[in-house]
Structure 1
């Protein structure tokens, strides 16, 4: 009996038991769909994070307080960076062309009878350039605002809309922590960054923030939450990172562990990529368990099928079918179930990835590698778990089979 005839007989047998065949494929369908969806969403999360960090600019550095180990040992954020550190970096590091210290806190912002909770960022005029935050209307903070500790504020696009609606906020006043601030500008919309709305922010002079909003809680000077730095170009970012690290070590008189960390955009992206990559692998592995369960289901159903078709097997062997013919037919049946389940699961998985891409900000996409891997694995599972029932059917003695029927 040739392969084509065996395949035709296998298809005919499966058609005769449509419901059982469909239920047998269900585990493979769920497994394939889960693997493709999880891998697609995971890769989408990686692309989304990559785009978010690339929007910061390729030559941006961030100095954050505390070392990696010190932040793991305590829940409280270290208070080791100061405004004076930022000023020293700006004046003494030759590969740096812009420094923007930030001191931030969450506060209630009020305008008339409207109020909302927003992130308040105390910073300097360089922030707009270093972090690529252009102004849509009015102006950003000035050196005079910082020197005098003026109560000037530039609003993010969403915050301006929440407080003023369609009215022009320029020249109007808002209240932050019961202090009156004059609106001098409205920023262009930037969207979310890793889940945080960058447009729901108010920017005020860092000196005003330190003296009138948060208070100066650092024993070393005017505390800052972190410092953003722009290097001269992408090629000099390594040199800038080295020079900033050495300068801060000298300023902080460090002899052992650093009390700060200097991160580049590439470093941050690598960390996020490692995390999302690990999560993608974990989710795909969990989803892949469904493929194993589906394979076991195929083996169970094929074993039942062998018992139900004892007479058929005995009759075929009695009229000349060899053990290999019986083995091949049952293997083909198992493989067909696995491959059809893989194809159906792939289509459902593609739909799931497309839905995730449409309903979430993740750049979810279908991975050809994941599709080939899932379908290949499902076909292999069909072959692997079809071996035992196929061998059992092939070894049936025709005389015993016909008598037991």
Structure 2
């Protein structure tokens, strides 16, 4: 019997027991769909995080207070030793840096008439909008005169402006931030979340005004900041800018031993590398967990095929009695197992791709079906069918025709 005849016979046999064949394929279907969906989800998460980091601004450096080792070990007590004067010194004395923004974030209660909203209050300087690559939708951003005069002016995030003013014009309106009156001079375009802060739901004010009217001076060295962000001239200048900023801050803070640094610097490339490493590991973990269902599906195929051998003892005995060889019987049962697993793999792929498309519609993740994941999942499912089909196929091939015919 050639391969074509064995294939036709295997298809007819499986078609005769549609419910059993469908249930047997279910484990493979779930396994393939899970693997493809999990890999797609991981890839979508990686793209989403990269987009968020890219949106922070081009060629950007982040100077954060505290020792790198302390933060790495999970230290809760982080010294707050960066001040506005540090940011101003970087802007004036580091030639490889174009713009520098200082930022300090505190919670606040924002009030307009009888409407209240809890939002982040971000104190910063005019360079913030350039460094972070933001744009205004209405009005203007903060200016140098606002900083010098400690002006009570505010720029609202897009979502916060809609919540407070609904259909009214926000520009020129007066709001209260922690019971201090501010004039709205601008509204940001939609920006989304960055570094744990939702800028669409925030109010931005001059950092000097924040220090003098809202939080006070909490550092004896000047106006305290949460972190400083700086833009290098170009991507080739990032390393130079990091080196120059490090030396300047060590000089200003009186640090001789680098191990005693009370700040550390992260550049965008480093953040992207860390994000890729983490999301890659998570994707592998998710795929490994989902692959367990493929193994369970393979075991299910083996169990059903073993039952099928017992039920088809008479058929096997008759075929061997009329001249079918062990290889013919072995081939037919292997083909049946491979058909079940491959068909389950194809259906599971369709389900997985559909799930990824639905995920892209319902979440901000731009999840995509990885071609490599599809080929791997279908190939593995077919191999699983072949592997787990060997035992029942060998059992059927070795069946003694005399013993089989006695059961007729």
In 1, Cα distance between equivalents of 2:58 and 2:219? 31
User: How big is the shift at 1:258?
Assistant: 2.4
User: Structure 1, residues 349-374: CA drift from partner, whole Å, max 9, x if none?
Assistant: 01000000011111111111111000
Structure 2 match to 1:26: 26
User: Structure 1, residues 163-190: CA drift from partner, whole Å, max 9, x if none?
Assistant: 1112122221111111111112122222
In 2, Cα distance between equivalents of 1:78 and 1:395? 76
Alignment gaps of 5+ in structure 1: none
Structure 2 match to 1:53: 53
In 2, Cα distance between equivalents of 1:383 and 1:92? 69
Residues 58-73 of structure 1 mapped to structure 2, 5 A cutoff: 58-71=58-71, 72-73=73-74
RMSD, aligned CA: 1.5
**246-255 or 201-210: bigger deviation:** 246-255
Structure 1 match to 2:157: 156
In 2, Cα distance between equivalents of 1:67 and 1:372? 46
Structure 2 match to 1:17: 17
Q: Find runs of 4+ consecutive structure 1 residues off by over 4 angstroms.
A: none
Alignment gaps of 5+ in structure 2: none
With the length of structure 2 as denominator, give the TM-score of the two structures: 0.96
Structure 1 match to 2:128: 127
Structure 2 match to 1:136: 137
Q: Describe the shift of the 1:371–1:140 C-alpha distance in structure 2 as closer, same or farther (beyond 3 A).
A: same
In 2, Cα distance between equivalents of 1:76 and 1:375? 51
CA contact (8 A) 1:314 1:397 kept: yes
CA contact (8 A) 1:49 1:194 kept: no
Structure 1 match to 2:95: 94
Of 359, 362, 367, 1:359 maps to 362
1:327 aligns with 2:330: yes
Structure 2 match to 1:188: 189
User: Structure 1, residues 286-307: CA drift from partner, whole Å, max 9, x if none?
Assistant: 1110000000000011111111
In 2, Cα distance between equivalents of 1:50 and 1:277? 12
Structure 2 match to 1:303: 306
User: How big is the shift at 1:249?
Assistant: 2.1
CA contact (8 A) 2:44 2:365 kept: yes
User: How big is the shift at 1:219?
Assistant: 4.4
In 2, Cα distance between equivalents of 1:30 and 1:275? 26
In 1, Cα distance between equivalents of 2:265 and 2:195? 20
Structure 2 match to 1:245: 246
In 1, Cα distance between equivalents of 2:245 and 2:287? 41
- Describe the SS at the equivalent of 1:199: helix
CA contact (8 A) 1:133 1:187 kept: yes
- Describe the SS at the equivalent of 1:370: helix
Number of residues paired by the alignment? 405
CA contact (8 A) 1:60 1:228 kept: yes
Q: Describe the shift of the 1:376–1:138 C-alpha distance in structure 2 as closer, same or farther (beyond 3 A).
A: same
Structure 1 match to 2:233: 232
In 1, Cα distance between equivalents of 2:184 and 2:60? 28
In 1, Cα distance between equivalents of 2:260 and 2:340? 60
In 2, Cα distance between equivalents of 1:257 and 1:363? 42
With the length of structure 1 as denominator, give the TM-score of the two structures: 0.96
